[in-house]
Amino acid sequence: MDTPLVSVIIPTYNYAHFLSEAIQSVCDQTFRDFEIIVVDGGSTDNTREVVDRFGSRVRYIYQENLGPIVARNTGIEAARGEYLAFLDADDYWLPQKLERQVALMNERPQVALVYSTIYQFESKSGAIVGEYPVSKCRQGHVLRDLYLSCFVPSPTPMVRKSVLTEVGCFDESIRYGSEDWELWMRVAARYELAFVPEPLAMYRYHASHRSKEGYLKREQQTLEVIEKAARLFPEELGSLRRRKLSMYLEDVGWYLMRQGERAEGLARLKRAIRCAPWRRRPYVLLVAGALGPRLSPERSRQAKVNYFTAKHSLFNHQYRQARKEFFKSICLDPVTHPKAYVGLILSFLRGKWVDNVRSRIGADRYLTTTVPDQDGAFDQW
């Protein structure tokens, strides 16, 4: 049996209704030298039936429900490829994902992990609600940057299996998120990371991703990961520990306040200030949360959708549409997205400049880009 270059690992649990799309997106890759490993963590739906439809193209491993981290490690152990790529069962890839990343890995042997940007789409409607900005991506020796912000989107990393043999696999004691971030930091401590500056995957946005229960489940273990990384790499991360703790507590605190849990939110923001009293943002959010309007989760979510729609319109030089969406976002939620005010101003300034240019030269300077729809086809945005 020939050894594939890439092993694609898909952990799943009762996601049969999404799994077919994920597997098909791998089968549709322009790069062909891969194997697909589906690790089923005790599903009670028709997951096995979905996998069987793909025949010998998919290796199926069934085990008891021990969580997605254990399932990923099972897939790593079973993998035969030199490169490992991870895909959650509810996400999917764009056709050139593997081709782009394999080319970069082959070209740069010093790179241990390569990732890309993503499109975020709403699970129920399929509407694209965001794009991970290239400006957040980092490459090279990035441990300090990665500690402050996990900029590796979950459907995109490809890593050398030999590197995981050296640094270890996913930490199975982490049950509620942050396990990928913790592993990528161990990789980044020894090797370079690189990224492909284009969206190569679709990340499904569920309402539960931003639920209060989800935040509180992840909170303690994320704080433990922050402390663990600072202990493992004191020279690189020791000086950043208090800043990172403050940043994370600020994020949780502000979210809780926006959900109406003001007492809990204020407590987190005060802890954020105690961790790093020189940071200004927690003070601003403390005042904004205390004085600002109480927002329902639905109102807050719609404001976010309008904000990201406005960013896309601004990027595509659709200035009138951008102004409209920025204004809607500000009206719905006047304190959460301060960048919406900046975007509103930019849409006026850039729109005026473009109108002047067009009036002088009679040329259409408006650009369009293409983004994938839910089925992976490309439409005009």
Residues in contact with 56: Cβ distance below 8 Å, sequence separation at least 6, in sequence order: none
Residue 357 pLDDT: 46
Instruction: Write the pLDDT tens digit of every residue in 267-280.
Output: 999 999 999 999 99
Cα 363 to chain center, whole Å?
Answer: 38
Nearest CA to 309 among 206, 381, 211?
381
Check pLDDT > 90 for residue 125: no
The pairing of strands 6-12 and 34-41 is parallel
Whether the per-residue pLDDT at 296 is higher than 70: the answer is: no
Radius of gyration, CA atoms only, the chain: 22
What mean pLDDT is predicted for residues 322-348? Answer: 79
CB 120 within 8 A of CB 132: yes
pLDDT bracket for residue 375 (50, 70, 90) = very low
Q: Which of 174, 207, 240 is the last residue before a domain boundary? A: 207
| 309 and 280 housed in the same domain | no
> 156 and 108, same structural domain?
yes
Quick check: 323 and 330 in contact, CB under 8 A?
no
Last residue of one domain, picked from the residues 259, 291, 323: 291
Beta bridge partner(s), residue 58:
36
Q: Quote the tokens at residue 141.
A: 């020796």
90 — pLDDT class (breaks 50, 70, 90) = very high
Model pTM score: 0.78
Most confidently predicted of 50-54, 302-306, 356-360, 365-369: 50-54
How far apart CA 192 and CA 68 sit, in angstroms, is 26
Cα gap 291→337, rounded to integer Å: 16
Q: Identify whether residues 136 and 267 lie together within a single domain.
A: no
Residue 133 belongs to some domain of the structure: yes
Q: Where residue 199 falls among pLDDT bands split at 50, 70, 90?
A: very high
The answer, yes or no, to whether residue 306 has pLDDT greater than 80, is: yes
Per-residue confidence (pLDDT) for residue 349, from 0 to 100: 80
State yes or no: pLDDT of 371 exceeds 50. no
Residue 241 lies in a domain: yes
Using left for φ > 0, alpha for ψ between -120 and 50, and beta otherwise, residue 128 falls in beta
Q: What pLDDT is attached to residue 313?
A: 84
Residues 197 and 264 in one domain: no
Mean per-residue pLDDT over the chain, rounded = 87
Based on the fold, state whether residues 69 and 199 are members of the same structural domain: yes
Residues 255 and 329 grouped into a single domain:
no
CB-CB contact of 65 with 41 (8 Å): yes
Q: Which of 207, 231, 253 corresponds to the end of one domain? A: 207
**Res 135: pLDDT:** 77
**Residue 340 confidence (pLDDT) above 90:** no
Share of the chain above pLDDT 70, in %: 87
Within 8 A by CB and 6+ apart from 309, the residues are 129, 321, 325
- How far apart CA 169 and CA 82 sit, in angstroms, is 15
- Please give the DSSP secondary-structure letter assigned to residue 293: P
Which is more confident, 367 or 72?
Answer: 72
Distance from C-alpha of 286 to C-alpha of 269, rounded to nearest angstrom: 7
In a domain, residue 376? The reply is: no
Q: How far is 118 from 133, CA to CA, in rounded Å?
A: 8
Same domain, 276 and 157: no
Enter the tokens of residue 146. 């990665």
pLDDT by residue (tens digit) across 169-188?
999 998 777 999 999 999 99
pLDDT of amino acid 209: 57
SS3 content of the chain, % helix, strand, coil (to 5): 50, 20, 30
Per-residue pLDDT, 379: 36
Please check the confidence at residue 293 and state whether its pLDDT lies above 90.
no
Domain extent, residue 82, equals 6-207
pLDDT at 356 over 90: no
CB atoms within 10 A of CB 72: 24
Q: Mean pLDDT, to the nearest integer, of 33-60? A: 96
- Angle, helix 281-291 to helix 262-275, in steps of 10 degrees: 160
Q: Is the pLDDT of residue 368 over 50?
A: no
CA distances from 146 to 193, 276, 341, 357 (A): 10, 19, 28, 41
Q: Residue 276 belongs to a domain with what CATH number?
A: 1.25.40
**What average pLDDT does range 298-323 have in this prediction?**
82
- Note whether residue 1 is domain-resident: no
Q: What is the C-alpha end-to-end distance of the chain, expressed in Å?
A: 44
List pLDDT tens digits, range 203-227: 998 766 566 777 788 898 999 999 9
Task: Could you list the beta-strand ranges (E) of the chain.
Answer: 6-12, 34-41, 58-63, 83-86, 92-93, 111-122, 128-131, 158-160, 192-205, 370-372, 378-380
223 & 267 share domain:
yes
Question: If you average pLDDT over residues 18-47, what whole number do you get?
Answer: 97
Number of domains in the chain: 3
Residues 371, 216: Cα–Cα separation, whole Å = 34
Residue 380 inside a domain? The answer is: no
Find the CATH number of the domain harbouring 163: 3.90.550.10
Among 4, 9, 208, smallest CA distance to 102 is for 4
CA distance 233 to 1: 41
